[in-house]
Amino acid sequence: MTHRILILGGTTEARQLAGKLAARADLAITLSLAGRTENPVAQGVPTRVGGFGGADGLAAYLRETRIELLVDATHPYAAQISANAAAAADEAGVPIVALRRPGWEPAEGDRWTLDESVASAVTVL
């Protein structure tokens, strides 16, 4: 029996996960990219590019393609797609797993410059 997994990607972690899971004969992996990158890195698994039309569109896609697990491995700042993914998974009755990279923390040797705003930071650059 083959289990169908949709990975919402656009990150290195998503690409790596898709590659590792694709090696399993019992899994059918599809990687979804938002389409914001002109020349994305080759993914090595079936890939769809573009939006779903919000949470309802994603829920419809999950049902139509009989996805059994949704993996949210999107960029940490992609809050809208993560919210849509959670809502769509709930609507379609599909389990969801969110893969989150840890936040960036200062470490010894870093040379951070803190500023009040993006506009002000631009002048520092």
CA–CA separation, 73 and 4 (whole Å): 16
Structure confidence by residue, pLDDT tens digits, 62-84: 999 999 999 999 998 889 999 99
Q: In CATH, which of 3.40.50.20, 3.90.870.10, 3.10.580.10, 3.90.550.10 is domain 3-124?
A: 3.40.50.20
Q: Which residue has the higher pLDDT, 122 or 94?
A: 94
Q: Decide if 66 contacts 92 (C-beta within 8 A).
A: no
User: Which token pair is 20?
Assistant: 């590792």
Q: What is the pLDDT of residue 37?
A: 65
Strand partners, 97: 71
Is residue 112 pLDDT above 80, yes or no?
A: yes
Tell me the whole-structure pTM to 2 decimals: 0.82
